[in-house]
Chains A and B, each alone.
Chain A
Amino acid sequence: MNPILEVRDLNKQFIDKDGHVVKPSDHIDLALYPNETLAVVGESGCGKSTLIKQIIGVLKPDDGQILYDGKNIVDLSAAEKKEIYKDIQMIFQDPNAAFDPRMKIYKIITEPLIHHKKIKRSQAKEVAKEYLKMVGLSESLATRYPHQLSGGQKQRVGIARALTLKPKIILCDEITSALDVSVQKEILDLLEKLKKELGVSFIFITHDLALVEQIADRSVVMKDGKIVETLESKNLKKEAKHPYTRKLLEAVYEPRGAA
């Protein structure tokens, strides 16, 4: 099977204010396959955000290719990009920062559809209700404002909005790290369900390897702009070899009883 998204030898460097060269993307290769969840694992400063910015087209790579459906999206015109980026959507860690607090929930959800002229404003409320149902929320939330929702509900709204353009790929940037564990579990279950029902692929950014083991089909571990290890199995303790991955594994706190 061909990858749906492929990053080939991607490089991006900056000069910091002390005059040092930093390479947030240092010869990065990765592939995302249809209906797969790929975890990108790493801590602050590892280059996750720079990688994502290049994938969603807000930052231009120095060199290298980002292939979507076989086309190098780095070189496309603005009009072509607009078309392609319907297929690649993103959910953020902090929905408060991603939502306009003065907009009602139904407008937030349907904003991408209005922007791409897929529906009329008069249809927005009805369409939003369908998506609310899809992510397990009550239709009655459509006319509320973001501040009236809990953190978990807002994150579901973020997912609903990302789904409206029927994307092939959803990028999830630390989307559960601000949530309570029980809510985190519900969100992960929802993503799993959407993956089965809609055939979407996910890129899931996190630093929590226990989470990775639960939801990812494969994962790449990033450090200092490089991919240091690719993990294919669901038993990371057994598989991981790189010292940095081992260090991340040791930093996972699991409930510890007598054993």
Chain B
Amino acid sequence: MLEIKDLDIDYGDKQAVRDFDLSVDKGDIVSIVGESGSGKSTVIRAVLGLLPGDGKVCGGEIDYEGKDLTTLDPKSFGELRGPEISMIFQDTGAMLNPTQSIGRQFIEYIRTHSDLSKEEARQRAEEILREMNFKDPASIMSRYPFELSGGQRQRVGIAMGMVFEPKLLLADEPTSALDVTTQKQIVELMKELRDKHGTTIILITHNLGLATDISDKVVVMKDGRIVESGDRVQIVDEPKSAYTKHLLECVPRLEGE
């Protein structure tokens, strides 16, 4: 479904990513794991054509269902983003429009990309908000973004990213600012999205525990390069690189004395 080959990305004259390869099958959950500055977010932004500032792809290919995304024109990208390829960020909630109620923007978003009536869109929105652990979705819909906590806004943003059950979901640290029980709920929801609808998910995270729990495949990055990649079990039980081993050792565990 997605095949990235020899990808090189620079910010200005600074190298950000080098020789990045990744092959993702339909319905896979793949995690890209690394610490700050490893280039993990840069890779995923390049897939969506959303490199910030002076970021540019300077080598390699990103093949998505036969299209090379590195050369795709902005209009075709616009058609891909949203219902087909969706992205959620760590501060997805910050992108809500502050001057409109949650309900108004959510319903408008759904209707822009579908044929649902206003009432059907409202029901769909409330349904997915309930899945995001909101006990009273109707009351959330009536509020403005500033009336919600950061965690609540984030869950609304994630709900919007997932509402169309996209074919490919790119998630950049979507839960790292959330409470652990909310994180758990959203991770379960991502798994369900894959199991029920065959959604392909690429998760960017610094949390190796989370990555190995949810993913089929894990890619470990450092300083813009892949250090190691493999299936979940191999990465956890037989890590080849010293860096992966070190990261695994740093993850706090519940193990008793």
Contact = CB atoms under 8 A, between A and B. Distances in A.
User: Is the pairing of A and B real?
Assistant: yes
Interface of A: 43-45, 151, 180-185, 207-211, 213-214, 233-238, 247-258
A49 to B, nearest CB: 13
Contact of A208 (B35, B180, B208, B236): B180
A235 B254 CA distance: 7
Contacts of A185: 249-250
Given A43-B181, A44-B149, A180-B206, A255 B256 contact: no
Contacts of B151: 44
Contacts of B50: none
Contacts of A209: 254
B257 A235 contact: yes
B236 A247 contact: no
Contact of B256 (A151, A181, A235, A250): A235
Given A181-B247, A247-B181, A234 B209 contact: no
Q: Which of A180, A214, A252, A256 has the most CB of B within 10 A?
A: A256
Contacts of B237: 257-258
Contact of A238 (B36, B182, B235, B256): B256
| Secondary structure of the B contact surface, majority rule | helix
Contacts of A255: 208-209, 212, 236, 248, 251, 253
Interface string B189-218: 000000000000000001111101100000
A234 B179 contact: no
Contact of A251 (B35, B184, B247): B184
Contact of A256 (B212, B246, B255, B257): B212
Given A182-B247, A255-B209, A248 B254 contact: no
Contacts of B207: 181, 253
A180 B173 CA distance: 12
